[in-house]
Amino acid sequence: MFNKLFGYLSHDIGIDLGTANTLVYVKGKGIVINEPSVVAINKKTGRILAIGKEAKKMVGKTPAHIVATRPLVDGVVSDFEVTEQMLKYFIEKVHKESFAFLPRPRVVIGVPSGVTEVEKKAVIDATISAGAREAYLIEEPMAAAIGVRLPVQEAAGNMIVDIGGGTTEVAVISLGGIVASRSLRIAGDELNENIVQFSRDEANLLLGEKTAENIKIAIGSAYPQEEKMEMTMRGRDLVTGLPKEVLISDEQIRRALSRSVKILVDNIKATIEETPPELVADIMTRGIILVGGGGMLRGLDILINEQTKMPVKLADDPLTAVARGAGIVLEDVERLKEILVSLGNEKAPQ
């Protein structure tokens, strides 16, 4: 009874609960929050000091008793309490402008396609505890495909590659279901780690994670570029312990990323090999769609095209595809129920 009443006062929301960033879609408004999935905690008191953008600023810059942590590892809840607090923060932030003093929204959350039943339950429990009245789960590749307006319910093959922060999802979708898929723990974070390792091995330089990410965005590529690019990387010299800067080229960074990129491409090829021939014929016409931040790596589309002999397109606004898909499902939950992982039987107590 009360839940129903609170429901009228709440905004239903779709959440792309990512390893790197969390995006929140509000029914009727679009994407209203796009913040890092980072929480800063005071270890002495156990109190949460900051969430999202404010916490991200603290990464690598805190005293020993303050830890800026990511509650999700590889797209999966690794710290239940902190995830719950983060979700609560985002739900409350959405309802700040409304009159809902105790918001009880319906929530659709994107999860990696390879998660276990236990991991799914952890996400649902955290969402209900954070204040949701109903929690639905949708697999991220399915949400991304809906978000980029692919006809997922038709009897035709659609292939989507979602390269996020912690996971890469490769999936072939037809008739509202996933026909063949791969879920890898190689994505944006792993590419940053490749750059950190490269600078350590080749230049005796210790880089921070944020610096490595900036290098990847500025000059990272998967395929030789027409224009040569260079950048200065700054870090700590492992020999002297003093600050040091080294000039690096896009060719060096491409070499650093090559192993992880090869694994990505090999898994895309393996997924195509598992796909029924009729659906492969459809994909050859429609192409492979890239979404997620990692899909924006320069030349990745060209490399995949060269290796698979299929057209490859980067989706418009690839970073928000999963959140937009979760939002579209929210607009018509009843009709799209068969697409969801959890069929809404997970509800808060009445």
Domain annotation covers residue 41: yes
pLDDT of residue 83: 84
The model's pLDDT over 233-245, given as tens digits with 9 standing for 90+, comes to: 999 999 999 999 9
For residues 302 and 182, membership in a common domain is answered with: yes
Tell whether the model's pLDDT for residue 76 goes beyond 50: yes
For residues 332 and 304, membership in a common domain is answered with: no
Domain annotation covers residue 350: no
For residues 18 and 93, membership in a common domain is answered with: yes
The model's pLDDT over 162-189, given as tens digits with 9 standing for 90+, comes to: 999 888 999 999 988 889 999 888 999 9
CA distances, 190 to each of 38, 59, 74, 121 (Å): 17, 18, 10, 26
The angle subtended at Cα 20 by Cα 15 and Cα 24, nearest 5°, is 20
What is the pLDDT of the chain when averaged over all its residues?
Answer: 86
The model's pLDDT over 322-342, given as tens digits with 9 standing for 90+, comes to: 999 988 888 877 777 777 875
For residues 177 and 299, membership in a common domain is answered with: yes
The model's pLDDT over 105-161, given as tens digits with 9 standing for 90+, comes to: 888 888 888 778 888 888 888 888 888 888 889 989 999 999 999 988 888 899 999
- The residue that leads in pLDDT, 310 or 119, is 310
Domain that holds residue 213: 188-256
Domain annotation covers residue 348: no
State the Cα torsion 63-66-70-71 to the nearest 10°: 160
The model's pLDDT over 246-281, given as tens digits with 9 standing for 90+, comes to: 999 999 999 999 999 999 999 999 999 999 999 999
Domain annotation covers residue 168: yes
- Per-residue confidence band for 7, with pLDDT thresholds at 50, 70 and 90: very low
Query: Which of the listed residues 239, 256, 273 is the one where a domain comes to its end?
Result: 256
pLDDT of residue 69: 81
pLDDT of residue 101: 55
- pLDDT (mean) for 43-72: 83
For residues 67 and 200, membership in a common domain is answered with: no
For residues 164 and 295, membership in a common domain is answered with: yes
Domain count, the chain: 3
CATH at residue 76:
3.30.420.40
pLDDT of residue 343: 41
pLDDT of residue 17: 83
For residues 289 and 158, membership in a common domain is answered with: yes
Q: For tokens 């600050």, what's the residue?
A: 243
What pTM was computed for the model? 0.86
For residues 95 and 223, membership in a common domain is answered with: no
| Element counts in the chain: helices (H) and strands (E) | 11, 18
Distance, in Å, from the CA atom of 172 to the CA atom of 182, rounded to the nearest integer, reads 9
Domain annotation covers residue 346: no
Tell whether the model's pLDDT for residue 348 goes beyond 50: no
For residues 246 and 159, membership in a common domain is answered with: no
Domain annotation covers residue 49: yes
| Percentage of the chain modeled with pLDDT above 70 | 92
For residues 159 and 295, membership in a common domain is answered with: yes
CATH at residue 233:
3.90.640.10
Domain annotation covers residue 347: no
For residues 175 and 105, membership in a common domain is answered with: no
For residues 84 and 35, membership in a common domain is answered with: yes
Residues 6+ apart with CB under 8 A from 188: 20, 163, 164, 165, 166, 213, 216, 292, 293, 294
Domain annotation covers residue 148: no
